[in-house]
Homo-oligomer: A and B are copies of this chain.
Amino acid sequence: MTVSEAKTSLKALQEKMSAYGHALGLLYYDGVTSAPRGTAANRGQTMGVLSEELYKLTTGQETVALLEFLDGHKDELDEKEQRMVFLLLKNIRQMQKIPMDEYIAHEKLVVEAEDAWHTAKESSDFPLFEPYLEKLFADARRFAGYCAPDKDPYDYWLNEFEEGLNREKADAFFAALRSHIVPLLQKVCAAPQVDTSILQGHFPEAQQDVLSRRLMAVMGLDPDHVGLATTEHPFTTSLGSHLDERITTHYYEDDFASSLYSVIHEGGHALYDTGSDDSLAYTVLDGGVSMGIHESQSRFYENLLGRSRAFCEYLFPVLAEIFPDQMAGHSAGELYKALNKAEPSLIRTEADELTYCLHVLVRYELEKAVMAGALAVHDLPAAWNRLYKEYLGVDVPDDRHGVLQDSHWAGGAIGYFPSYALGSAYGAQFLRKMKETVDVDDCLRRGDFKPINDWNRQHIWQYGCLYRPGQLFEMAAGEPFDPSVFAAYLEEKFSDLYGL
């Protein structure tokens, strides 16, 4: 095998991986958008077969030999090829450490756990979900042990979801946020409350759909490559490559703001993915590099841009056009205040920008404790309720509105939550840097996202997974990560909003 032949094989390997990924992603997408209700087992059968084929392809002898050969000829590879080989080998070396039967059993467990979680959430029945969650935490500990025996298991998973993150950094990060947010929230709660009547009324689904498509166009999402569908829980997925991106939303006819911000949030993910350089399509470098950077983009569009005073000035006339009766007698200023009402609440996904990180903090502390063996899965509901009282001051009425609200653990994603908070904080530094060269507020007032998107594309999106998240962050932000920038942003915004 020559290096040139090996490079051709490297390309073909990644094209195959992308194809299986496309099929698996589409099977999932179909299941939550269009499939008849009774077809999950049939889809599971196919996903099982294709996952196994993908596993064999990714970790097979031929692939390992190819990658090790290329790794031995690093100096003849360009920067992109080096990174491809690094990422593929890293993945293989981890996969090889997990016995295949345990890997398959885990995949099966996740399917069953998600099913059990759905039922448990509906009936607020934690004991039904508990045995699955026990096994999921056990798998997380055991798999971490296989992959990084010298590392703390939770540190292993934090690093998996955000390369470079560990408990020490996360502890410091959350402590910094907490010390700012908790007293700020107390002041906000003591201040006169904002009027949210502008958000109330009946907003028919058909008009909300018009609003969604309008927002997608304003944000610069290309309708030829980004689709919109409705699902129970909004999400974003790339199918095959960044050339086919799908976002979803959920319409509530008594609450247009819910879908409005789902579309902007998922649209931010989609902008990031579709912004990859076209040369990265069908390679492992295509799309976003990490959950933290991904959330930095989605929450950047959702909050830093989408909930800004300037964007509300653009948004209000659009809403007034689509919902003339409902917006009559209201103003852009009211809209801005109403969309930023901060208050302690129960549900993470509905939380405002200020309290959001406290919701994440609760999950971080609980995951950390369970992974360390300091907290039993059985005791999670009580611990959850205690921390919500302590950090947010709210009483959790039942597990449906408490420990069962999120699907992440059911999906086996332990160590994922911190990336949401990190992403929010990353965004504040990106915004500060962007404002050095782009008049962001002026763009938002005019509904012109092009200069903003161009900046993000140039500094973040185009690179896909070429750089490590921390490296990419510093390249784009022009400075090391510093959570106090986000804390200061919140302090300024909410002090102004509430006249503190």
Instruction: Let me know if B16 and A23 touch, CB within 8 A.
Output: no
Give the residues in chain B near A339, CB-CB below 8 Å: none
Q: Would A23 and B36 count as touching, CB distance under 8 A?
A: no
Partner among B27, B35, B41, B227 whose Cβ is within 8 Å of the Cβ of A36: B227
A360 adjacent to chain B (CB < 8 Å): no
Q: Is A224 an interface residue (CB 8 A)?
A: yes
Contacts of A45 in B (CB 8 A): 15, 18-19, 240-241, 282
Contact A229 B34 (CB under 8 A): yes
Q: A135 interface residue, CB < 8 Å from B?
A: no
Report Cα–Cα, A30/B245, bound state, in Å.
13
Report the minimum CB–CB distance from A176 to chain B (whole Å). 41
At the interface with chain B, which of A46-54, A99-107, A310-318? A46-54
**Residues of A28-70 whose CB lies within 8 A of B:** 29-30, 33-39, 41-43, 45-46, 48-50, 53
- Which chain B residue has the least Cβ–Cβ distance from A49? B19
Q: How many angstroms from the CA of A227 to the CA of B241 in the assembled complex? A: 27
A224–B30 contact, CB under 8 A? no
Question: Which B residues are in CB contact (< 8 Å) with A49?
Answer: 15-16, 18-19
Q: Which B residues are CB-close (under 8 A) to A246? A: 34
Q: Which of A233-260 contact B (CB under 8 A)?
A: 239-241, 243-246
Residue of B16, B19, B50, B222 touching A38 (CB-CB under 8 A): B222
> Could you tell me the distance in whole angstroms from the C-beta of A282 to the nearest C-beta in chain B?
7
**CB-based contact A19/B46 at 8 Å:** yes
**What are the interface flags for A401-422 relative to B under an 8 Å C-beta threshold, 1 for contact and 0 otherwise?**
0000000000000000000000
Whether A223 is near chain B, meaning CB under 8 Å from some CB there, is: yes
Whether A244 and B39, one on each chain, are in contact in the complex, defined by CB atoms closer than 8 angstroms, is yes
- Chain B residues with Cβ below 8 Å from A50 are 19-20, 23
Most buried by B among A34, A37, A53: A34
Q: B23, B36, B43, B48: which contacts A224 (Cβ < 8 A)?
A: B36
Q: Does A369 contact B (CB under 8 A)?
A: no
Whether A84 sits at the interface, judged by CB under 8 Å, is no
Does A433 reach chain B (CB closer than 8 Å)?
Answer: no
> Smallest CB-CB separation from A242: which chain B residue?
B42
- Option from B18, B19, B43 in Cβ contact (under 8 Å) with A244: B43
CB distance A225 to B18 under 8 Å?
no
From residue A465, how far is it (CB to closest CB) to chain B in Å? 18
Measured CB to CB, the nearest residue on chain B to A57 is B53
Counting chain B CB atoms within 10 Å of each CB, which of A33, A50, A229 scores highest? A50
**A43-B240, A49-B15, A224-B37 known; A30 vs B30 contact (CB < 8 Å):** yes
Q: Are A23 and B42 in contact (CB under 8 A)?
A: no
A224 touches B38 (CB 8 A): yes
Q: Is A226 an interface residue (CB 8 A)?
A: yes
Flag if B34 contacts A34 (CB, 8 Å).
yes
**A22 contacts chain B at the CB level, 8 A cutoff:** yes
Indicate which residue in B33, B36, B226, B241 contacts A34 across the interface (CB closer than 8 Å).
B33
Which residues of B sit under 8 angstroms from A39, Cβ to Cβ? 224-225, 239, 243-244
Q: Does A26 contact B (CB under 8 A)?
A: yes
Contact of A226 among B33, B36, B43, B46 (CB under 8 A): B36
Cβ of A20: which chain B residues have Cβ within 8 Å of it? 50
User: Which partner residue on chain B sits nearest A227 by CB separation?
Assistant: B36
* Nearest CB in chain B to that of A41: its residue: B243
Chain A residues 257-289 with CB under 8 Å of chain B are: 281-282
Report the minimum CB–CB distance from A53 to chain B (whole Å).
Answer: 7
Report the bound CA distance from A227 to B36 in whole Å: 5
Contact A223 B42 (CB under 8 A): no
A42 and B241 contact, Cβ closer than 8 Å, known pairs A30-B26, A49-B15, A50-B19: yes
Is the CB–CB distance between A223 and B26 below 8 Å?
A: no
A239 to B39, CA, bound (A): 10
A34 to B32, CA, bound (A): 13
Residues of B within 8 A of A41 (CB): 243
Closest CB pairs A-B (n = 3): A38-B224, A19-B49, A23-B23
- Pull 17 A–B residue pairs with CB atoms less than 8 Å apart, ordered by A: A18-B45, A19-B48, A22-B46, A23-B26, A23-B27, A29-B30, A34-B34, A36-B223, A36-B226, A36-B244, A37-B224, A42-B241, A42-B244, A42-B281, A45-B240, A45-B241, A53-B53
